[in-house]
Amino acid sequence: MDFEKILNGSRNYTFHSHTQFCDARAPMEEMVRAALAQGVEFYGFTPHSPVPVPSPCNMSRESVPEYLAEVERLRKLFADRPIRLFAGMEVDYLGPDWGAASEYFRSLPLDYTISSIHFIANQHGEPVDVDGSFDNFKRRMADLFNGDIDYVVDTFFHRTLDMIAAGGFDILGHFDKIGLNAGYYAPEIEDGSHFQGLVNKVIDEIIARGLTIELNTKSREQHGRFIPHERHLPRLIQAGVPILVNSDAHRPDRITASRDEAFRILDTLTHKHGTPLA
Ligand SMILES: [Zn+2]
Ligand SMILES: [Zn+2]
């Protein structure tokens, strides 16, 4: 999907939002009403995709047709309102057999996909969610990863590189998000050259492949940071990487959270480096 063309300069959008079919706190209709009230003109739904492992946060394969029908119903319901709705999906990458490039996801009539990592394989090859709250992360570090934070960080970024190589998606989702939980677990880890080297490898690939990324604002208020971390924005902007500001909202009152601040930062950096943004 050509986001730049669709937006035509508008900043009143979000292309990352969740639904009752996955783990949002409100039904899609309520999210659209809230988006309208917050001045959003382009609104993309991206429920967490089906995954082949038990997960309370992901939609089931059976509910996918119901989700797509609900987008259609809402398009009709809001046809005379100044908002355009998009049927997207945040597709989990779980390895070569499961991701946005898989035949199943390619066959769905979606407008676009975000590709994200929430699960990585532990040392026994079992998929473990590393994206949740820090309390859960800490417990899983002890119970499922043998306390090996370097393993978790390395595996997260190597899986991210595999996901990029597999392709088949429109937006790369929150690509250094492991820094959030890893940073709580081992406070200096993110500043280290090993961690930064891994992030920079991902950014090399983003630039080389001309990927569109998101500046995800979901963690800004609660955790004081954007995803990716602000320190990476100058390099991304200098390279002309298209960046969409997405709120990753799971609640109606979060649809435009921290958006103005995100655009202010991007504008300041763009002014400095003179590169246009998506
Ligand atoms: Zn996500
Ligand atoms: Zn999300």
Lowest model confidence (mean pLDDT) among 4-8, 30-34, 226-230, 268-272: 268-272
User: Which ligand number lies closest to the CA of residue 23?
Assistant: 2
Return the axis-axis angle of helices 134-144 and 178-185, rounded to nearest 10°: 70
Q: How far apart are CA 122 and CA 213, in angstroms?
A: 27
Cα separations in angstroms, 252 against 35, 74, 158, 183, 222: 7, 16, 34, 28, 16
User: Contact, 14 vs 60, CB < 8 A?
Assistant: no
Residue 240: left if φ>0, alpha if ψ -120 to 50, beta else—which one? Answer: left
User: Which ligand number lies closest to the CA of residue 118?
Assistant: 1
User: What are the pLDDT digits (tens) for 165-200?
Assistant: 999 999 999 999 999 999 999 999 999 999 999 999
User: Contact, 84 vs 41, CB < 8 A?
Assistant: yes
Per DSSP, 46 falls in state -
Strands annotated E in 46-111? 84-92
CB neighbour class for 164 (10 Å; exposed up to 12, middle 13-18, buried from 19): buried
User: Which ligand number lies closest to the CA of residue 115?
Assistant: 1
User: Which ligand number lies closest to the CA of residue 247?
Assistant: 2
Tell me how far the alpha carbon of residue 54 lies from the centroid of ligand 1, in angstroms.
17
Tell me how far the alpha carbon of residue 272 lies from the centroid of ligand 1, in angstroms.
30
Cβ within 8 Å of residue 46, ≥6 positions away: 15, 16, 17, 18, 88, 89, 90, 113, 114
User: Which ligand number lies closest to the CA of residue 22?
Assistant: 2
Q: How far apart are CA 229 and CA 231, in angstroms?
A: 5
Tell me how far the alpha carbon of residue 274 lies from the centroid of ligand 1, in angstroms.
30
Tell me how far the alpha carbon of residue 229 lies from the centroid of ligand 2, in angstroms.
17
Q: What pLDDT score does 226 carry?
A: 98
Q: What pLDDT score does 274 carry?
A: 63
Asked if residue 34 has pLDDT above 70, the reply is: yes
Q: What pLDDT score does 271 carry?
A: 84
Tell me how far the alpha carbon of residue 47 lies from the centroid of ligand 1, in angstroms.
9
Q: What pLDDT score does 273 carry?
A: 72
Say what the alpha-carbon torsion angle 266, 270, 275, 278 is, to the nearest 10 degrees: 20
User: Which ligand number lies closest to the CA of residue 15?
Assistant: 2
Residues 69-99 as b or e (16 or more Cβ within 10 Å = b):
ebbeebeeebeeeebebbbbbbbbbbbeebb
Q: How far apart are CA 35 and CA 30, in angstroms?
A: 9
User: Which ligand number lies closest to the CA of residue 254?
Assistant: 2
Tell me how far the alpha carbon of residue 3 lies from the centroid of ligand 1, in angstroms.
19
> What proportion of the chain, given as a percentage, has pLDDT over 70?
98
Asked if residue 9 has pLDDT above 90, the reply is: yes
Q: Which residue has the tokens 């963690």?
A: 219
